Amino acid sequence: MSTIIDKAREIVAANGMSDKITLLQGKMEEVVLPFPKVDIIISEWMGYFLLYESMLDTVLYARDKYLQKDGLIFPDKATIFTAGIEDGEYKEEKIGFWDNVWGFDYTPLKATAMTEPLVDTVDMKAVVTDPTGVLTLDLYTVTTKDLAFVVDFTLDCRRSDFIHAIIAWFDIEFTACHKPIKFSTGPHTKYTHWKQTVFYLKDVLTVEQGEQIKARLTNKPNSKNKRDLDITIEYKLLTDDPHRAAQGVGEYKMC
């Protein structure tokens, strides 16, 4: 769609492939392909939290209109993972900042700041729970309706610590390759520009090793802009200690 296609044409010509590669500029939903069907669809459609500002709708449109019955999609599988993290210092820097802004009380902005997920790199040392896969998308079968979902999940605490936020990341798979290939955008692996998405909790959870957090994640495209996301996370700490019992709901907007 962008003007980088002009450079792509130069590169194709420089490599003597102008008679083999045809470049079309425009929106997938508007261009007319020179063939009724295609054998392969390749697309880098992933956004933050996998689905924010993603182009998956367009990939599904191309799949349904153009892909041969036995055609291939690269990549073809994506899984969203979550975990709980200790992040008190950074939370205080980002959220507590509004308590005193050069001597002025800006606390009315605190609630707004809490609704905005942070996209940043999380240190693996901050991860308190085991990772949990909450949703897997198969690009051969997924529909646009599946992109609005409600999933329940459990986080198992691997050590005694505080939990200030729940983070999310995704793994991508190319299962149709002769040697299956995958990569992760999680805190346990090499840096990617997707980083991780951090959802700060209103409460600070004090957890003990072996305890669990029961949670429910609700995701749906924003009604005004489908590339934005409305996300809700409900959580409850399962503990025998009444002094540490906690539950709550966080509502977030990625826009």
What average pLDDT does the segment 133-158 reach? 97
Q: How far apart are CA 59 and CA 73, in angstroms?
A: 9
Q: How far apart are CA 104 and CA 216, in angstroms?
A: 37
- Phi/psi for 251 (5° steps) reads -115, 130
Residue among 82, 242, 87 nearest 163 (CA):
87
pLDDT of residue 136: 98
> Cα dihedral angle (135, 137, 141, 145), rounded to 10 degrees?
70
Tell me what the pLDDT averaged over the chain comes to: 95
Domains of the chain: 1-34 (no CATH), 76-170+182-254 (2.70.160.11)
pLDDT of residue 93: 86
State yes or no: pLDDT of 97 exceeds 90.
no
Q: Helix (H, G, I), strand (E, B), or coil: what is residue 232? A: strand
b/e map 152-171, b = 16+ CB within 10 Å:
ebebbbbeebebbbbbbbbb
What average pLDDT does the segment 71-84 reach? 98
Q: Which residues are catalytic?
A: 44, 53
Does residue 150 contact residue 217 with C-beta atoms inside 8 Å?
A: yes
Q: What is the pTM of this model?
A: 0.93
What average pLDDT does the segment 170-180 reach? 94
pLDDT of residue 90: 85
pLDDT of residue 94: 85
Instruction: Work out the percent of the chain whose per-residue pLDDT is above 90.
Output: 87
pLDDT of residue 48: 97
Per DSSP bridges, beta strands 67-74 and 38-42 are parallel
Residue among 45, 29, 216, 225 nearest 142 (CA):
45
User: Please, which pLDDT band fits residue 43 given cuts at 50, 70 and 90?
Assistant: very high
